[in-house]
Amino acid sequence: MAEEQKVKKEALEIIGQFQNLPRLVVFDLDYTLWPFYCEFGDEDENPYLYPQAKGILLALKEKEIDLAIASRSPTPEIAKPYLDKLGIRSMFVAEEIFSSWTHKTEHFQRIHRKTGIPFSSMLFFDDENRNIESVSKMGATSIYVSNGVNLNALRQGLSEFSRKSESSTSGSKRK
């Protein structure tokens, strides 16, 4: 628990360095928030998150940034109870957990319809490049994570989001 608070404090400091913040941060589940494929588990298991994931989620919530899930898991009946067991399910304004061949574009369309938040105001973390590429084309800032969501990925995501939103709003001001 102390580690979670330490990560949250550090994440709040990172978030505080940026003026342009996303309105919604979207997370994949498998190998992004947790280090396994949930379809190979069962609902009796005790799932666990990557070490820095919960502190980051708590910091984003404290800053009133909405959170959502976009997962191509074929087993939402396992993923959702895992989120409950981890005590984080209520943090998310949208949960799109279903098998799909669309590389998450369908997940993002649904999240957009539910929240009304434009893709350009979204930040997305995933461990698969094909999802990063397809969601980036929709206008969301998308960050590849190879070892789960951590403070470095958060910093990179916020930095890239901020850079993209500055260049789209300032046009000719910057070189």
Q: Are strands 66-71 and 24-27 parallel, antiparallel or unpaired?
A: parallel
pLDDT at 88: 97
As given in the structure block, the two tokens for residue 58 are 């708590």
30, 66, 126, 127: the catalytic one is 30
CA dist., res. 127 & res. 73, Å (int): 13
The per-residue pLDDT string of the chain (175 residues; one tens digit each, 9 = 90 and over) reads: 688 999 999 999 999 999 999 999 999 999 999 999 988 887 778 899 999 999 999 999 999 999 999 999 999 999 999 999 999 999 999 999 998 877 899 999 999 999 999 999 999 999 999 999 999 999 999 999 999 999 999 999 999 999 998 877 654 443 3
28, 66, 126, 127: the catalytic one is 28
CB neighbour list of residue 55: distance below 8 Å, 6 or more residues apart: 3, 4, 5, 6, 7, 8, 9, 10, 11
Residue 84 among the catalytic residues:
no
Fold of 33-117+134-149: Rossmann fold (3.40.50)
CA dist., res. 105 & res. 102, Å (int): 6
Residue 30 among the catalytic residues:
yes
pLDDT at 165: 86
Q: How is the chain split into domains, by residue range? A: 33-117+134-149
